[in-house]
Structure 1
Amino acid sequence: MEPVAEAELSSTAREIVEAFQESLRRQGSELVNGPDVLAQLAVQVQAVLDDIAARMSVSETSPMELVGEARLFNVNIGADRARRGIHPVQSLRAATTLFEVMLPVITRDLPPTDSAGALRLSRALHEAIMTRVALASLSYVAFLMDKLQASRQEERTRIARELHDRVLHEMGLTLHQMDLHRHYADRDPAQARVKIDTAIESLDEALRTVRHLSAELRRSVGEYGLERTLRAYLEANAPASVQFSILTTGDVKVLPPDVLEELYLIMREATRNALRHADPTRLELSIDVGDNAVAATVVDDGCGFDTSDPDRASGGLPSMYERALLLHGVLELTSTPGRGTRVEVRIPFSEAAL
């Protein structure tokens, strides 16, 4: 369904759209940010009016469902709002506002004594609005679940790459050194010992990598707690040249399990990126649990990068943003070349637990 032009709106629709948009602005709603979203709202208002007229022309017992372009339009709205980070709660609040704005307009021509007619119009309006909210909310969830699946696939791909690039590489070096050891065993015992020592070093490195990957796969925040799990990860992966600290304020135990696990994965990814790419000397992690939201930061003093560079602002960053978005949170990354990087995530666990 293409957005309707202003001229295509009925006079009643234009009146409702103006009042609706003004009410959303007063509320500070994110749904009035951008011409595309405003155009969607105008389409929705006209469509709801048309839907009410259709519902009033049939029996009250006849259910009506959105089909074809009308259904696709509302499905696309849900996915578009997910991409913009607009939570379905915002859509539900807007739906309530639309009902409050539209009901006086569509019932004003009824005689004051026609309570049955007012009830029918009210019910038709409610059904028309909530049918659209339900479709948009379902597509919102489906969009985020697809993103989460992509994040999990990315995590599996990363582990497979670690096994291939590091473990298999070290095992290959080990085998090569063992072959050289056999070659030198009789003719040059000293060189043979060097080769066997090098093989042992390569094998030790491969075993350390396997242990680290195994620990990542089996580690559960619920079992050890968020701070202890993060500390264990840093102790296992941060080189001796990197100092790190973890500061926790508030009661982490009040966080729902899904928030704990996803928050750990976000902070671990931010920490891994710093250790891999930033060459830091210090890492500072903090977790601040409030009454209904948790804020966490990972700050390094490394080389930093240009966040506008698509090659640098990739890697594990999309999965971090998507994990935060799935829990109705916001993730912000700031970095300047030569001045380190700061990753901050804020998750409203009261909403995430719904």
Structure 2
Amino acid sequence: MKHDGVSVSTVGPVVHHDERLDALLSITGRMDGYLYRCRNDASYTMLYISDGIFTVSGYRPSDFIHNAVRDYVSAIHPDDLPSVYAAVDAALEARRNWNVDYRIVPRAGEPLWVREIGGGVWDKAGELEFLEGFVVDISDRKVVEDLNAQLVLDLKIANEELSAQKREIEVAKQQSDHSANHDALTDLPNRRAFHNEIRSVVTRCGATGEAAGLLFIDLDRFKEVNDTLGHEAGDALLQRVSSQLRSILRSADFVARLGGDEFAFLFSADTELARQKAVRVAERILERLRIKVPTPNGAIQVGCTVGVAMYPAEAGDSEALIALADRLMYIGKKSGRNRLVTASEMAPQQPSSRPRLRKTA
């Protein structure tokens, strides 16, 4: 479209009716709208416009013919005019029809929405003669469409808010689950998580034929650190111990803080190798947890005592395994501390069973 006021092509006297107009009038006559034929200039100078324009806008058709009183562009809402120009220009360039919604500013009342479907008419030489089309009032439909669009938007926002709330709930649940199953000071699994894990490991080993090893670990001289330096120093020591125990873990192993200065190390392995691994891990723990804690009166040599019990060779279920590891650890504490204690090859419940003590250098 040329917007310089010069039409691409003009026509002679206004043709009020011809076969094309009659065909279009038969369609638009049944609609709340109007038919038009205009020049392709900046003001869309009307050559013909049907009586429906009066019903829609309150303006008489004669007002627009050759811009007698006003041009058609003046009836288009100024905010919508750029999109109208763009739609018409793009369609003419592609030699196709345009379909564009915009607002008409009526003689009285609020702007109302219309939908225009139009196209260019070219002569045999390929020159553009004029534009023609029809415009229908879609105000009621537009209200419904806008309501639907707003409803879709509201639903989208509501879904996004709901999704965000679900994510927050899931995060809160995960945090709650984590807190319920982990020690707040060291972030190691706690006693509750340990009991769940050992039941699971023993059940799995019972099904696969593997062995499970349980090491009960109790720090030596931890109370001295607390009494001498205070609970903050004791907490720092527990965090350091936890870090050392984590460094020994394989991906399939499990370590937990049972409370106070007691920890548990749980693993599963092939039956023939499990006992060797248990002793090897216990010796590594004894070595890693030999920690000197400086005090004003000299260093406190912290260590640990480890009770080592095996399933199924020495205990028939998870509860028996826990009880045995705890008893062996207690025996080690009574026997001088800083050592690992294992049961004999015989079942610990039998009178002939004697714990085997091993003290580190």
TM bucket normalised to smaller:
under 0.3
Higher relative contact order (CA 8 A, sep 6+): 1
Structure with more helix by fraction: 1
Q: Which has the larger radius of gyration?
A: 2
Structure with more strand by fraction: 2
Give the TM-score normalised by structure 1.
0.23
Give the TM-score normalised by structure 2.
0.22
